[in-house]
Structure 1
């Protein structure tokens, strides 16, 4: 550890030299350059031994040749006693090869005992102190990084040398793969961790991409010590020397096996459900149409009350089943094809809504449906699909609203988009249900309020939302005891440039 200067900024320097004149010269030039410099002088071995028991110095200045030892031996002792403290050597006797040897052993600087060298001694000391601090900062950063990496147990983090051999190994790598550090250091990465079928070109492509782009990210199978496989999130970063030459790779692996299994289970479940619904929907429609047609034909031909009553119930049930099948087809088409398709054409949304409300007033004469219109409903609409939207929302309001309270339909067409409000009073929708109201297979609130449970599949509001989105619009709902429940639909008058519409 490099000592920090004293709180007042002064440095502590140890000067080891048996020549009083040389010590005086060094101390004089350094004191001028470093105000308040504190100097400990050593002339003989007993002083040297005492100095070794003192706190660390900021730097040490030694002579190469001393009566009791050499400067090189002092260098080794200082490195052992105070690791990281910079050492400078002043020599009047050392040959160049001896000075070079000392530098190779860790000496910061060597200078001959000449007037010119003493003049540059302060600068040499400043450089030595700065280099020592930089080295210490690097050491501390490396230690911090190593500690952090070792503490990461959810990720395998290790380095490879240019020959693809493992150079470091963290605790997370051991936890994920089962290999201890001693078992992998120096071993080829591919033979330990990569399945045989990925050796060669597939593995090299990952490393080559890391070299070419700096980093490779992907997924793939990797091996554990027991031979089992795990699905890994893979990040490989190329490491380069200062001149650009490759010095290895940093590899990060995360075990994503459980996530992959969950994704596969969801995909298989979704595919099975979508396929089953599609097949059932289509296969049911043909015989149901035959039942409906034959029942209608029988009702016209046989005018007896028992037959008429039976055929009426058959027709109602068949029509309800037909609506369910249509909902299933819309659901599967929307899920498998990316949304419900719409076919826009010029029309009047308000006129369409008026027609739907008149039909619903005939089917529910005991209920009051009011409407308020502002502006116009001209635009490009899919008439059949928006008929579904209005029928579903108003029927839903009639079903769940209070019997003695009107259903209010408000149409705003003074701008773009056109806005529809459908409001009913009655028990509010539970707060916990609101975020999931448009989820598929959500059947209504009935059981929570003692109402009769919906006979549908719980796809109505989901399909309404998909139709509105296909028109580039939006739908939301508010519900409370004071103001009732209000569905609000925003519909752009014209085909959106970018949106979820499918044609």
Structure 2
């Protein structure tokens, strides 16, 4: 740590203050210590607020460590406070920890060495809590912007939590009003889901009456889950009133067109093709939106629950020498969970950008683009000792260079990641021309994919392995599929478990 560390040392014993400063300088050369001997100095320091951490004795001539702790936490809730004392009891230590004390070090010769370590851990914990708070704010903001209602309820219809869109969609003001109104008839859905085999999940379009009496159509997706031994119902609800009205209008239009079929046959065929395409687009949009909403309510909350659980353990446990390794392990797992959630957010934003961004297409030389992509991946390929074989020349295609680089990067990254331990990654790349398309092949010697999963892997948040074994967000291949489809192509895979995989991309061919 190179920045100046500002610390309050609150102790009416000058020898103990000097001892703390001496021990801290062993690990923090840039320390700036402010020594507090009496009440006036303490009041002035708290008012100025120019400190990063406080170390206090318990028994002071003008106060107690508990009072000092309360005063600092009241003004600066996130400021770490450590008690360094040879007085007090176990009950006092427990009370202090419950009041927000970050650690407790006894004034014993064999404990002095723990002071720098205790300070460092407290500062690291403060940083982690700040990052977790910022991440939670970002995620909560994302949930609040969704136009899809998200809720969790007990089987008896008492709601546990929901996002603002849920209350707005049903015309409600609060969770208690939602529980009392029973607009969704939760007990009935609970009875139905209980009879279903796992996964106990149901989707349907229903018409319901809002709290203000207005009739709306909604698409309801609801599932029966178990959280900490308690059965709950998790659901998504989307207003599809506009779409249902559009479908009714389309049906009426079809009836009118049927009456004129003999006179306007060609026009009817065009209209019907347009209608089919519209319905397909609506179905695809609903499918993507449902997958996105479910992932937000489930996958993104998983690392936050881990952060909350391990943070609670750290706050409740008393510090001891034997617990230090456990505490460091918890901190590392909290950091990993934070990084996992951040990666999920970034990949979700990238997937959303692919869905809406304008995508100009042009003729692209795959040989040049592949060399450019491999240069960008050179460090990772070298680190994994991967070997790449390209059967030149590669064909030219019509595509968007930025998106195509991203698609190929995801495929190559997966190819060198999903290999058995001790196996050197080997990649083979070539192209074939067929029916107006160029098929780009990427073959690997990885762990392979069972046939039943070969279509599912291109869906959002579809993971076949745990995060600990093969890290990742589960969105990479969904980005590949979305990017290729936006460029007018298709994507697929041929694979056998334990025998590697051959991914292929079909893109429009360039005609000279």
With structure 2 as the length reference, what TM-score do the two structures score? Answer: 0.46
Choose 1 or 2 for highest CA Rg: 1
